[in-house]
Structure 1
Amino acid sequence: MSVTLPARADVVIVGGGIIGCSIAYHLTKLGIRDVVLLERRQLTCGTTWHAAGLIGQLRASRNMTELAKYTSELLYELERETGQSTGFKQNGSVSVALNEERFHEMKRGASMAKMFGLSVDVIGPAEIKAKYPLLSLDGVVGGVFLPKDGQANPVDVTQAYAKGARMGGARVVEGIEVERILLEGGRAVGVVTEQGELRADTVVLAAGMWSRTLGKAAGVSLPLHAAEHFYIVTEGIAAVPRDLPVLRVPDECAYYKEDAGKMLVGAFEPVAKPWGMKGIPKDFAFDSLPPDMDHFEPILERAIGRLPILADAGIQTWFNGPESFTPDDRYLLGETAEVRDLFVACGFNSIGIQSSGGVGKVLAEWIRDRHPPMDLADVDVRRMQPFQSNAGYLRDRTTETLGLLYAMHWPFYQVTSARGARRSPFHDRLVAAGACMGEMSGWERPNWFGAPASTPAYAYSWQRQNWFANTAAECLAVRDRVALFDQASFAKFLVEGADALALLDRVSANRIDVAAGRVVYTQWLNARGGIEADLTITRLAETRFLVVTSGSAQTRDRAWLQGQVPDGARVTITDITSGLPMLGLMGPRSRELMGRLTGQDMGNDAFPFATSREVEIGYATVRASRITYVGELGWELYVPAEFAVHVFDRIVAAGAEFGLGHAGYHAMNACRMEKAYRHWGHDIGGEDDPVAAGLGFAVAWDKPGGFVGRDALLRRREQGTPTRRLVQFRLADDRPSLHHEEPVWRDGVIVGSTTSGMYGHRIGASLGMGYVHNPDGVTAEWLASGRFEIEVAWERHEAVAQLKPFYDPAGARIRG
């Protein structure tokens, strides 16, 4: 039956899987009813129909957990509202550890779950057996039980979303293929289908595996790649209880689900099989891929050992179906950096069913308000770099990312696939000096340096890892002598033009109208006062500015700034990251070394803190900025790429006299923790304002013209002492390691959680940072009057809490 499409809609959604249907449903709940969802074949025909349907709630952060919790809460209501069954049952889940390191990881997760308000129990082998009597306890150390987890039927849930959307006024149209996204003036204004154009104010791309191709045609980078995903379904087994919880045995890469007396056994194997390297066929619908018994057999053999009842069970289905994965195993959500009014929701890495309700809700609100309703930086599509859509890169990375879902989530883990994509000019020299390279947004960066003649490599653990002493030596070089950091991965934008100052002064919370040659530390805020970026701006000349931000925020921060440019403004923004690598020269002897290198007076009077100017090193002209992220006297050196190695060699040669050492990013992280320097994406983000984050010193409250977010900040300041503050923690016992999302207790009550953590080698303590709450205000007196503990893996550890940094709180070393 032919369908006539309308000429326009408020929102058009491309893709009729569970995510697209959830978005349509939630848009109508917000009163946005002029919605058209287009599915090329039939609803669920891509990936949704063959998903396992596991509904877990605990994720790696509070907001991601909130989205999953909302999904499980919604499914009962959705069934009552629409009359369409969802197949949801809240039978709980058991995760089993086969070694102490895995059990430690699970207990850390259980502590997080408790803090997030989830029901959770840490259980031993006997309790595991009671909950899952079919399980062999061979090698079982312990586990975690989440009673509110469950399972659902993905097809039924999708149909319920679709029915609810139709009831709310949306049109859900099957059998209409979208050929391309319609663009005008850098905005998405509709789609082109086989029936012609359908114009819309907003376009949502939720086309699963096909999203990358549709995005690429619109000039949008969507890094995702399909991989084969295997499971079996047995024939009915009379002895299988019908109330079994979902079972996960990640050390054996397997999950188990009882369904109507049958057992589904699936896997996330360490070496996966990418699929669709030549593109996803347009006619692929309700299809499966050829089974690969040799590939799945090792998983099945271990599964039979773990569930002996499987040994005599007949196998009804050997299933192999494709699912899409992203380079970091987190999905892609939000408005794209390249095209305005184009939103995406794709790359769900096998958690699309459990994410569907929360994702539909927050994306619908994002579309309505044109800003996210909560901090969604973890999944924001703008975190990705354009090169990550490279087909070869995605193919190689996907072999690893599928398996990482069930691999140990070690702290400081470094991916092993698709490495070497982005290298600084100093790379080979750093490797020769003993660097153990890590990866960040494709950049190869020195995380730590091994001893001479060693082969530096990670030995992962939840305790102190094998590089602990190496990083300690690097931190002491920073404290006592001078150290060299490769900071080439930091993103750099040149902003210039007659309106450059007006733009940056309005976007920045701090005052940017300073003399040329000054460096300003500032935040960019949203209209609600939340922190969108944390960076420095150097005024180079009257109409030229250098913006420096973290490498991971390269795409996001440029898109944010570009989105603030008024129509007709005389300003250009150029990404010069590749052409201007940066070195950090940090430590008390950096002044002597800089004097030797430049032949200039580098003293306080001649070169004050936050000053930037050009100097000569060797045959090169280098911009030297006296600023630091490690809390010591030091300079950031911006070197034109063609001179980079020459300058590096001159520094190393001259530095021997001053005890110059190399230092990596683990040392930088340790030093910044001691100084309580915030890290965007961990300690500060879109829901955190400068007052709560302790960054009020970087706010120019009364600068002429104000700034974006000023009104919201003033309202918060008028409310008096903040009830939520970012606080520094020091454990009394220096052995436990803090990372993030550990619960913070005060006098026996959870009052917050950590945002980041690291061992501080300059002061010899395990440190953390995190937000705490008090209805009567978080003050130094309140912190001092309570007994603080931080929970690590189900155990509490005494801590000291304070507002000031633990190292050099007055900042004397920086300005010395």
Structure 2
Amino acid sequence: MKSHARVVVVGGGVMGVGLLYHLALEGWTDIVLIEKGELTSGSTWHAAGQCPHFNGSLNMTKVHVYGTELYPKLEKLTGQAVSWHGCGGLRLACTDEEVNWLKYVYGVSRLAGYECEIIGPSEIKQHHPFLDTTGVKAAFRTVHDGHVAPADITNAMAAGARQLGAEIVRRNRVMDIKLLPNGEWRVFTEQGTIDCEHVVNSAGSYCDVVGSWTGHNVPIANMLHHYVITEPLKELIDLEMELPVVRDPYSHAYLREETNGVLVGPYETATAHVCWDGKPPRWDYESELEAPELDRIMPWLERATERLPLFGETGVKSIISGAITHTPDGVYLSGPAPGPKNYWMHCGASIGICQGGGAGKYLAQWMVHGQAEINMREFDPRRFGNWATKDYTEEVSVADYHHMYYCYKPAEQHQVGRGLRKSSLYDRLKAEGAQFAQIFGWERPRWYDTTGEGEKYSFKRSNWFPAVREEALAVRDGVGLMDLSTFSKYEVTGKDAYAFLERICANKIPAKDGGIILGHLLNENGFIESEITVTRLAADHFYVLSAAVAQLHDLDQMNWRKRADEQVTITDVTDDFGVLVLAGPLSREVLAKCTDIDLTNASFRWLTGKTATVAGVPGVRLLRVNYVGELGWELHVPMAQMPKVFDALMAAGKPHGIRLFGTYAMNALRIEKAYRGWGSELTTEIDMIEASMERFLRLDKEDFIGKAATLRRKQQGPRMKLVYMEVDNTDSDCVGNEPVYHGGKVVGVTTSGGFGQKTGKSLAFAYVPPELAAVGTELEVMMFTQMRKARIIPDSIWDPANERLRA
């Protein structure tokens, strides 16, 4: 084993090997994979090997599609035999909402480019003659779904990696990892040490243990999963075709043909549990199975027999019962770990066989080129913080496993593992009917329910719609108050703080105390990494805000960009301050009753900030800025004192009809104002020019990270442009990833949308080719398989001159 490499990958399952292969394809060949046993000897070897396309996430769909395209070609590419079964798939729908889900995913399929159709119950028999379709309303048929032998594709990618120059060391346990003073990582193994620029934790069932060596929290649970294979059946022996893989919400199982028998793998909706009482497996645990628990999973096997009677007509040949890794949201971890650079995670996959190829491809791109060609935000390990404790991870992973085939409607979330991070107003807001969503561990109100019903989740507008209308109109016509304490908040201080922020930000940093700017951190390729708000409190003191989910991401972005010779301190103060948003044409009258500071426009202009005493609470940071497009202030209050300020504002606002509002109303308001969102409109897939954000670029600055690439891209011209559209629709609004059509062809994709309650219009953002980006262009958006007319309108439909903000 060599003593130094560019990359060391820890773990030889399908995820680790898939990454090794694709790093080599990208040209990085000084790479080593270390596996304690044999390749695939963890959870990979006993996986069922399903490779589906059906997925509600466009980026995850691209991962899946790549795998199903790669695996049939691997034997030719590497010379290693691969058993690929391209039998197709059927995803059944048994409720109207499940049918809506199929229709939404059909739109995603048009963007991802795979072959599929939605068929009725009578057509299912043409593709699966043995299926009982009782209770089935529709099926999503994918033509090129399949299944594969997990060891085959893993060994084929390993062979391909070796052929390209990668090294694989088996039977060599990694025992520790340490960060060296020079920024490299030292990997301690049974066969010696190896130093590397990049280390990748792809340790499967052990990834949380491996992460703990370097202080990294890795939120994975090892779930116990079964599948059962029957003896061969004459009906299948005589069948000329191979049956498609069926995914059935009734039995909550996948059902397929396997060696002329039937394979059934249930995801039980109750009684599921973690392996080994939540403890890590023994280090010598290799290619082992757990004792099956047939009695426990029998209710789901019985339902599978109802759906596929053949399953009950012969004996059981084998039972596979083993550990699969699972994260709280069911999405694997792939990307940088928080903290020191170049520690990567690539683990936690519960559908890892299908995802191994694509996951490896896109992480390899990120490592080699600084970004992937898809938006990696949903895979980024930093979407979880230290609030994702072991108890939380296990509890929510079990719930997510229970819901594997449940149809989650937009905004619907797990109800376990809640209440982890709460602002000091939580109890007050709950008493007012707040309907909370969990965001980066925080409980944040989406809307306020006065009926006691709670939210009725749907793919269409639901019972929240009238209440959200009232909330939004209160902000537009009077005054509203919102708890937005979930902001990520940082203090950037020191002699070089101004120069540092000026260097890393594409916008000009305020030169005067009290100035506020919206800024963007670009990567070296000129694409958008982060969106931040910067307030200058003093020449050596800046207050930086960003999205709740970006707390670790943006802390890394700032720390990683800091030079060793810069005297700058970056402090995360997220939990220290609560945030109240007071907005609306009457907000000045309300705030004036709670503070002595001069709030007139002449004294307190838009995009400025001051420190004041509010409701007797000193040190409140008043920022005249908001995300709803109205006169208003953000009040950044010491968290413990926020109830006092809240009560005072509510009392002062009562004569003016003050109303609490949540994120649903905020979205309705920001979409009318054409405000972009980080992670939807603004991602590492696009640059500032393509996002129509040139007004926040200061190309006349001496330099900033990404400037040279931005100038090159401006000279080349945009590949696409963000446009703002009005959509003809009556019962639903764009949520993102709906295909946009022109002349009968897919030409773009929506990124987000909503209903503008004041303007009475369904609005959306989309990326389209530059030649179609002119105001007035007529387009169509596919929504639930129906074409809806859309037209490009100017930014923005509400207060385009910002007169209300400056009032």
Structure 2 match to 1:41: 37
Query: Which residue, 781, 786, 790 being the options, matches 1:799?
Result: 790
Structure 1 match to 2:85: 89
Q: Which residue identity is paired with 2:691?
A: A
Structure 1 match to 2:295: 294
Q: Distance in 1 between matches of 2:633 and 2:88?
A: 54
Q: Distance in 2 between matches of 1:554 and 1:237?
A: 55
Query: Which residue, 229, 239, 249 being the options, matches 2:225?
Result: 229
Q: Distance in 2 between matches of 1:15 and 1:706?
A: 41
Could you tell me how far 1:647 is from its partner in structure 2?
A: 1.3
Q: Which SS does the other structure have where 1:670 is aligned?
A: helix
What whole-Å deviation, never above 9, does each CA across 1:544-568 have from its counterpart, x for those lacking one? 1000001111010110111000112
Q: Which residue identity is paired with 1:806?
A: I
Range with bigger deviation, 51-60 or 558-567: 51-60
Q: Distance in 1 between matches of 2:26 and 2:449?
A: 56
Within-5 A mapping of 1:384-533: 384-388=384-388, 390-451=389-450, 454-533=451-530
Q: Which residue identity is paired with 1:518?
A: G
Q: Distance in 2 between matches of 1:535 and 1:416?
A: 31
Could you tell me how far 1:251 is from its partner in structure 2?
A: 4.1
Q: Distance in 2 between matches of 1:572 and 1:275?
A: 43
Contact map agreement 1:734 1:764 (CA 8 A) in 2: no
Could you tell me how far 1:54 is from its partner in structure 2?
A: 1.0
Structure 2 match to 1:648: 646
Q: Which residue identity is paired with 1:427?
A: Y
Range with bigger deviation, 455-464 or 679-688: 455-464
Within-5 A mapping of 1:708-747: 708-719=705-716, 722-747=718-743
Q: Distance in 1 between matches of 2:797 and 2:635?
A: 27
What whole-Å deviation, never above 9, does each CA across 1:264-308 have from its counterpart, x for those lacking one? 111223343123422232222222222222331121111111011
1:319 aligns with 2:353: no
Could you tell me how far 1:423 is from its partner in structure 2?
A: 0.5
Q: Distance in 1 between matches of 2:677 and 2:480?
A: 21
Contact map agreement 1:251 1:407 (CA 8 A) in 2: no
Could you tell me how far 1:637 is from its partner in structure 2?
A: 0.3
1:778 aligns with 2:773: yes
Structure 2 match to 1:260: 259
1:352 aligns with 2:352: yes
Query: Which residue, 138, 154, 169 being the options, matches 1:142?
Result: 138
Contact map agreement 2:370 2:523 (CA 8 A) in 1: no
Structure 1 match to 2:686: 688
Q: Distance in 1 between matches of 2:261 and 2:696?
A: 61
Q: Which SS does the other structure have where 1:395 is aligned?
A: helix
Could you tell me how far 1:466 is from its partner in structure 2?
A: 1.6
Q: Which residue identity is paired with 2:788?
A: H
Q: Distance in 2 between matches of 1:327 and 1:565?
A: 33
Range with bigger deviation, 156-165 or 605-614: 156-165
What whole-Å deviation, never above 9, does each CA across 1:649-700 have from its counterpart, x for those lacking one? 2112222122111111111111111111111111110112111112111111
Could you tell me how far 1:148 is from its partner in structure 2?
A: 1.5
Q: Distance in 2 between matches of 1:235 and 1:253?
A: 22
What whole-Å deviation, never above 9, does each CA across 1:709-768 have from its counterpart, x for those lacking one? 122222233345x45111122222332332111111123222111111222212222222
Could you tell me how far 1:777 is from its partner in structure 2?
A: 6.0
Contact map agreement 2:328 2:394 (CA 8 A) in 1: no
Could you tell me how far 1:644 is from its partner in structure 2?
A: 1.5
* Identity within the alignment, %: 36
Q: Which SS does the other structure have where 1:201 is aligned?
A: strand
Could you tell me how far 1:239 is from its partner in structure 2?
A: 0.8
Q: Distance in 2 between matches of 1:281 and 1:116?
A: 41
What whole-Å deviation, never above 9, does each CA across 1:403-462 have from its counterpart, x for those lacking one? 3332113011122110000000110111111111111111011111111xx435221112
Structure 1 match to 2:578: 581
Structure 2 unaligned spans of 5+? none
Structure 2 match to 1:192: 188
Q: Which SS does the other structure have where 1:643 is aligned?
A: helix
Q: Which residue identity is paired with 1:566?
A: R
Could you tell me how far 1:575 is from its partner in structure 2?
A: 0.2
Structure 1 match to 2:20: 24
Q: Distance in 2 between matches of 1:252 and 1:804?
A: 49
Q: Distance in 2 between matches of 1:751 and 1:8?
A: 47
Change over 3 Å in CA distance of 1:298–1:374 after alignment to 2: same
Within-5 A mapping of 1:139-218: 139-185=135-181, 187-218=183-214
Range with bigger deviation, 286-295 or 46-55: 286-295
Q: Which residue identity is paired with 2:784?
A: A
Q: Which SS does the other structure have where 2:377 is aligned?
A: coil
Change over 3 Å in CA distance of 1:127–1:33 after alignment to 2: same
Q: Which SS does the other structure have where 1:767 is aligned?
A: strand
What whole-Å deviation, never above 9, does each CA across 1:560-608 have from its counterpart, x for those lacking one? 1110001121001000010011110011110101111113331211111
Q: Distance in 1 between matches of 2:267 and 2:780?
A: 36
Contact map agreement 1:270 1:407 (CA 8 A) in 2: no
CA RMSD of aligned residues (A): 1.7
Change over 3 Å in CA distance of 1:344–1:114 after alignment to 2: same
Could you tell me how far 1:348 is from its partner in structure 2?
A: 0.9
Contact map agreement 2:229 2:258 (CA 8 A) in 1: no
What whole-Å deviation, never above 9, does each CA across 1:616-659 have from its counterpart, x for those lacking one? 11221211000010111110000012322211121122221221
Q: Distance in 2 between matches of 1:269 and 1:712?
A: 51
Within-5 A mapping of 1:79-118: 79-118=75-114
Q: Distance in 2 between matches of 1:60 and 1:696?
A: 32
Q: Distance in 1 between matches of 2:622 and 2:644?
A: 16
Q: Which residue identity is paired with 2:774?
A: T
Change over 3 Å in CA distance of 1:803–1:151 after alignment to 2: farther
Contact map agreement 1:21 1:37 (CA 8 A) in 2: yes
Q: Distance in 2 between matches of 1:770 and 1:81?
A: 37
Structure 2 match to 1:599: 596
Change over 3 Å in CA distance of 1:719–1:25 after alignment to 2: closer
Could you tell me how far 1:102 is from its partner in structure 2?
A: 0.6
How does the TM-score come out when normalised to structure 2? 0.96
Q: Distance in 2 between matches of 1:538 and 1:800?
A: 37
Contact map agreement 1:209 1:324 (CA 8 A) in 2: yes
Q: Which SS does the other structure have where 1:655 is aligned?
A: helix
Contact map agreement 1:188 1:339 (CA 8 A) in 2: no
Contact map agreement 1:754 1:771 (CA 8 A) in 2: yes
Contact map agreement 2:205 2:280 (CA 8 A) in 1: no
Q: Which SS does the other structure have where 2:593 is aligned?
A: helix
Structure 2 match to 1:675: 673
Q: Which SS does the other structure have where 1:190 is aligned?
A: strand
Change over 3 Å in CA distance of 1:590–1:773 after alignment to 2: same
Range with bigger deviation, 681-690 or 284-293: 284-293
Could you tell me how far 1:66 is from its partner in structure 2?
A: 2.5
Contact map agreement 1:483 1:585 (CA 8 A) in 2: yes
Contact map agreement 2:292 2:319 (CA 8 A) in 1: yes
Structure 2 match to 1:663: 661
Q: Distance in 1 between matches of 2:525 and 2:774?
A: 24
Structure 1 match to 2:334: 333
Q: Which SS does the other structure have where 2:310 is aligned?
A: helix
Q: Which SS does the other structure have where 1:104 is aligned?
A: helix
What whole-Å deviation, never above 9, does each CA across 1:348-403 have from its counterpart, x for those lacking one? 12x21111112222223333334445421121222221221x11111111121123
